[in-house]
Amino acid sequence: MTRKKQPTVISLFAGVGGMDLGFIEAGFKVVWANDFEKDCAKTYQRNIGDHIVVGDIRDIKSKDLPKNPDVVIGGFPCQGFSINNINRTMKDERNHLYKEMLRIIKDTKPKYFVAENVKGLLSMEKGKVIELILNDFRNIGYEVDYKLLTAADYGVPQMRQRVFIVGNRINKKIEFPEQTHFPKTEKSPQMDLEFPINHNMQFHIPAKDAIKHLAKVPISYKPIKRNKKIIHNHIAATNVLDTFWGRKYPVSQFDICDYLKEHRNKSEWSTQKIDEHFGYRHTAGHWFRKDNNSGSIPNPSDWWELKKLLKFNKKYDKQVTTMVEKKITFEQSLRISNWDTPSDTITATGSEIHPNKERRISVREGAILQSFPDEFVFEGALNSMYRQVGNAVPPLLAKKVAEMIFVFV
């Protein structure tokens, strides 16, 4: 059956358009987009179109949006939900921005919506937040479900995990894409009973296969021509150190965490009060947590000050405060911890060290690990481009999700 029209999309919190690009490649037409960041909008305009509006979503009136969109998509801000943010409670105003997406969906009544967020959303407030969000969407007439997807399972050379929340109001069963790529083990997937027998299955794509061709290409602020191709944004930070100050004696962060929590609970000091005392924002909270390896051990000066507050004994003083200069090893400094597997998550806060140990990975290499096409060009200063890449939804992963919806709209 021939389609009468191309299904349309409104994109909220669009960033540089990673999710938009995936939907476009799946056959959709993005007719309107919004983001708060000017550099993101410049990148979006250069690569996708001029239909992006720069501004605070809270100032966007539903009546000014295109009528009757088939789908509304958006990766609402994740800082308040992330497991890297100890203060991830519903008091963080960024956590309420999803309600702006809820408002627009309620007013525009798309057949489908797709919302994307960080893994930490699932554990926030012991699972209460995700249920609150799901119920909010159900209350405006949508059947809704969610799934944690790993980008590497769909051909992205990165172990990025993100929650996709999908809803529809047309009484269709919500389905998520089937895994197409699997970890490489000693046995082939066809011989492993945990895997379905499918001759189209492929192995995860390792980082080296994705970006090794750029390893020896000099970084440059200008486009580079190599093998009849133009390489854009192959620029990188070069602040790579050889040594660092580390602890002389082995110490378990889990043990330190339990020890500090025990003494905190006996004291009159809450985590928030400790943060305020030190003048930190959310840092002290990591001393009292160990989920997802996101905890940390206080530095020596903070340890001695914390000892005054919580009045603990000298049990761990030596292990925590005795520091020596150490040589940085490849594994310590690198988030792409194994060249032979998909990279770890590309972050927005700092670029990872390249396996050559001479520089950080370039903006282009990060974009490749996010599955952006080579011709996609980022705008802005270096740190801004790193942030744009790290905050984006991998287009290939978005495309897989979009394809599950395309047949129903």
Could you tell me the maximum CA-CA distance found in the chain, to the nearest angstrom? 76
25: helix, coil or strand?
Answer: helix
Q: Which residues contact 100 (CB under 8 A, 6 or more apart)?
A: 12, 57, 58, 60, 76
CA 229, 233, 391, 360 torsion-angle sign: positive
Q: Strands 243-247, 323-327: parallel, antiparallel or unpaired by DSSP?
A: antiparallel
Q: Which residues contact 135 (CB under 8 A, 6 or more apart)?
A: none
Residue showing tokens 């056959």: 27
Give the other-Cβ count within 10 Å of 365's Cβ: 29
Is residue 78 part of the annotated active site? The answer reads yes
Q: Strands 112-118, 71-74: parallel, antiparallel or unpaired by DSSP?
A: parallel
Catalytic residue among 16, 78, 166, 402: 78
Whole-number Å distance between alpha carbons of 91 and 40: 27
CB 48 within 8 A of CB 392: no
Active site residue ranges: 78
